[in-house]
């Protein structure tokens, strides 16, 4: 086993993987190797690199995660079955990964087949090289963690949604980390190809079972939308001891619409990259997010939207609530190319700091080469208004409950913007859980 500590360790892990996967098709191995060679050529980023100025890889390197872990899943934790069954009561389409390994017995195999489901290994063997090369050249694939996933991921899923197919039930993808995964990297790759006029809603949730679960989840989720396709993607990370890195890649065609929401409500260290590219006019993308941090948690959101053509619209709002000694990073980039006239692009970052030790680094950016556009960006950082807090306390509301009410109103502003009602209900419930924990924690410490 090789642990992730240096760029040389990645090369050693790749050599081990290549020798062990003797039955893998040659073109698959070569495609994976190109991703790994890209990492070796670039090296590991440090805080001297602009994209990594506020987030250090040191915690991951010091932890020494195993890059080539076991392919089979660990023994099922007693809480897993109960958790999965509760999800199935709310969703008819459930896909389950335990410690990064696909569990087909717990997943809804027959229902998934109706939306073109194949395992990652099946799709790599059956789909031609040109099809996969297009996904390899998608936006964001040159990033460190996306390239690591493309090189090392053994588990994942591919979905092909047919022309004009409307999937009326949300697909809930559940990643469950158990205490036995604390030393390994669980890498999963998900690919969604929506043909013209297709419609799909996806919820991807990362949960840890047990208070000592401290593994590393490295996910890669890719979307390609055909003309007039409509897709919603909602990402939830709620695992206080987990290390999480995620890469989301989106390509939009004519008249397509993509809505995504990222909720980070507990993670030791998180870095999520969202890359979007417009390839045809009249498309729209809504990119919103909310991060709720406490203790010494560190979360980092990087977004990059590339308007290569005109008559497209981007709306982006990220909000954060930070407590204790936690830290957050938001770096958003929007490129409007020379030929992308009549573009509309709006980007905002708003943050509440609940303690003097909490810290936020917000950096919204616009790069505009066209002259007929509507675009704006901004960032705001502040604290709870003491007069509003006093008003609630004067009405016999405890300080902890009053703080939660004010912060919840701040958070609800971005959650309530969701277009999909089922996603709105789910995210509201997760946000409510986090604030309930905060009220109990404040009460216990008072």
Shared domain check, 243 and 130: yes
Tokens of 336: 């409007």
Q: Within this chain, do residues 220 and 248 fall inside the same structural domain, yes or no?
A: yes
* Co-location of 293 and 147 in the same domain: yes
Q: What is the mean pLDDT of residues 397-406?
A: 91
Q: Choose one of 351, 384, 417: the last residue of a domain.
A: 384
Alpha-carbon distance of 431 to 409, in angstroms, equals: 11
Nearest to 254 by CA among 226, 277, 230: 226
Residue 308's closest CA among 349, 276, 355? 276
Q: Are residues 389 and 371 in the same domain?
A: no
How far is residue 182's CA from residue 254's CA, in Å, rounded to a whole number? 44
Same domain, 237 and 361: yes
- Please tell me whether residues 324 and 397 are part of one structural domain: no
Query: Would you say 205 and 233 are in contact if contact means Cβ atoms under 8 Å apart?
Result: no
Helix (H) or strand (E) holding 366: strand 359-368
Which of the listed residues 337, 364, 384 is the one where a domain comes to its end? 384
3-state class (DSSP) for residue 155: strand
Domain final position from 384, 403, 436:
384
For 223-260, write each residue's pLDDT tens digit: 999 999 999 999 999 988 899 999 999 999 999 999 99
Give the pLDDT of residue 115: 94
Residues whose CB is less than 8 angstroms from the CB of residue 406 and which lie 6 or more positions away in sequence, other chains included: 384, 385, 388, 389, 392
**pLDDT, tens digit, 9 for 90 and up, residues 349-391:** 999 999 999 999 999 999 999 999 999 999 999 999 999 999 9
Average pLDDT over residues 54-58: 95
Exposure string over 357-389, b if 16+ CB within 10 A, otherwise e: ebbbbbbbebebebeebebebebeeeebeeeeb
239 within some domain: yes
Q: Is residue 24 part of a domain?
A: no
More confident residue, 10 or 80: 10
- 92 has a pLDDT exceeding 70: no
Nearest to 134 by CA among 257, 276, 251: 251
pLDDT of 361 reads: 97
pLDDT at site 446: 57
Check whether 180 has a pLDDT greater than 70.
no
Q: Is residue 294 in some structural domain?
A: yes
Do 218 and 186 form a contact (C-beta atoms < 8 A)? Answer: yes
Q: Are 242 and 267 in contact (CB under 8 A)?
A: yes
Residues 327 and 213 in one domain: yes
- Parallel, antiparallel, or unpaired for β 117-119 and 257-278? unpaired
Chain centre distance of CA 58:
21
Residue 401 sits in which domain range?
385-446
140 falls within a domain:
yes
Q: Is 246 in the same domain as 106?
A: yes
In a domain, 237, yes or no: yes
**Sign of the C-alpha dihedral computed for residues 271, 411, 229 and 115 taken in this order:** positive
Interval 9-15 mean pLDDT: 91
Tokens of 408: 């919840």
- Does residue 419 sit within a domain? yes
Do 95 and 176 lie in a common domain? Answer: yes
Dist CA 105 CA 8 (whole Å): 38
Is 59 a domain residue?
A: no
Q: Is the pLDDT of residue 162 over 90?
A: yes
Q: Per residue, what are the HEC states of 232-293?
A: EEEEEEEEEEEEEEEEEEEEECCCCEEEEEEEEEEEEEEEEEEEEEECCCCCEEEEEEEEEE
**Do residues 281 and 356 share a domain?**
yes
- pLDDT given for residue 259 in this prediction: 98
* Total count of domains within the chain: 2
Most confident of 88-102, 153-167, 197-211: 153-167
Using the predicted structure, report yes or no on whether residue 204 has a pLDDT greater than 80.
yes
Do 367 and 419 belong to one domain?
Answer: no
In a domain, 52, yes or no: no
Instruction: Look at residues 279, 275, 213 and name the one whose alpha carbon lies nearest to residue 252.
Output: 279
Q: Which residues pair with 178 in a beta bridge?
A: none
Please give the Cα distance from 139 to 305 (Å, whole number).
Answer: 9
Return the pLDDT at 1: 63
* Section 411-423 average pLDDT: 94
Q: Are 343 and 315 in contact (CB under 8 A)?
A: no
- pLDDT of residue 211 exceeding 70, the answer is no
Token output for 57: 């890889």
Same structural domain, 310 and 347? yes
In terms of pTM, does the model score above 0.85?
yes
User: Is 182 a residue whose pLDDT tops 80?
Assistant: no
Task: Name residues whose C-beta falls within 8 Å of residue 394's C-beta, 6 or more positions apart in sequence.
Answer: none
Q: What is the CA radius of gyration of the chain?
A: 21
**Cα angle for residues 314, 317, 320 (degrees, 5° grid):** 160
pLDDT of residue 104: 86
């Amino acid at each position: 086993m090789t642990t992730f500590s240096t760029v040389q360790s990645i090369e050693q892990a790749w050599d081990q993987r290549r020798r062990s996967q003797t039955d893998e098709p040659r073109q698959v191995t070569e495609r994976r190797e190109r991703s790994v060679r890209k990492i070796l050529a670039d090296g590991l980023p440090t805080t001297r690199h602009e994209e990594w100025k506020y987030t250090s890889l040191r915690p991951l390197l010091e932890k020494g995660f195993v890059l080539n872990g076991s392919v089979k899943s660990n023994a099922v934790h007693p809480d897993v079955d109960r958790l999965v069954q509760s999800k199935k009561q709310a969703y008819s389409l459930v896909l389950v990964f335990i410690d990064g390994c696909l569990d087909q017995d717990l997943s809804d195999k027959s229902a998934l087949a109706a939306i073109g489901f194949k395992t990652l290994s099946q799709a790599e063997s059956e789909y031609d090289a040109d099809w996969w090369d297009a996904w390899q050249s998608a936006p964001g694939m040159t990033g460190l963690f996306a390239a690591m996933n493309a090189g090392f991921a053994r588990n994942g899923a591919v979905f092909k949604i047919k022309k004009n197919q409307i999937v009326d039930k949300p697909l809930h993808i559940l990643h469950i980390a158990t205490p036995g995964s604390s030393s390994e990297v669980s890498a999963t790759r998900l690919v969604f190809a929506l043909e013209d006029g297709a419609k799909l809603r996806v919820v991807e949730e990362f949960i840890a079972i047990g208070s000592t679960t401290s593994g590393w989840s490295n996910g890669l989720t890719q979307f390609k939308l055909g003309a007039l396709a409509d897709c919603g993607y909602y990402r939830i990370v709620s695992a206080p001891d987990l290390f999480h890195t995620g890469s989301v890649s989106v390509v939009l065609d004519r008249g397509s619409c993509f809505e995504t929401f990222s909720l980070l409500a507990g993670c030791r260290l998180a870095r999520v990259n969202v890359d979007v590219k417009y390839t045809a006019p009249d498309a729209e993308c809504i990119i919103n997010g909310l991060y709720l941090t406490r203790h010494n948690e560190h979360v980092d959101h990087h977004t990059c939207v590339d308007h290569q053509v005109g008559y497209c619209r981007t709306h982006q709002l990220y909000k954060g609530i930070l407590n204790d000694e936690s830290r957050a990073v938001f770096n958003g980039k929007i490129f409007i190319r020379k030929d992308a006239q009549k573009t509309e692009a709006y980007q905002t970052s708003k943050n509440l700091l609940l303690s003097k030790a909490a810290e936020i680094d917000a950096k919204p950016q616009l790069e505009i080469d066209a002259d007929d556009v509507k675009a704006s960006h901004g960032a705001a950082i502040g604290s709870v208004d003491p007069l509003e807090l006093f008003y609630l306390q004067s009405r016999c509301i405890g300080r902890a409950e009053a703080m939660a009410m004010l912060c919840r109103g701040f958070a609800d502003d971005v959650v309530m913007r969701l277009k999909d009602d089922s996603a709105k209900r789910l995210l509201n419930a997760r946000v409510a859980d986090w604030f309930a924990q905060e009220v109990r924690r404040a009460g216990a410490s008072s």
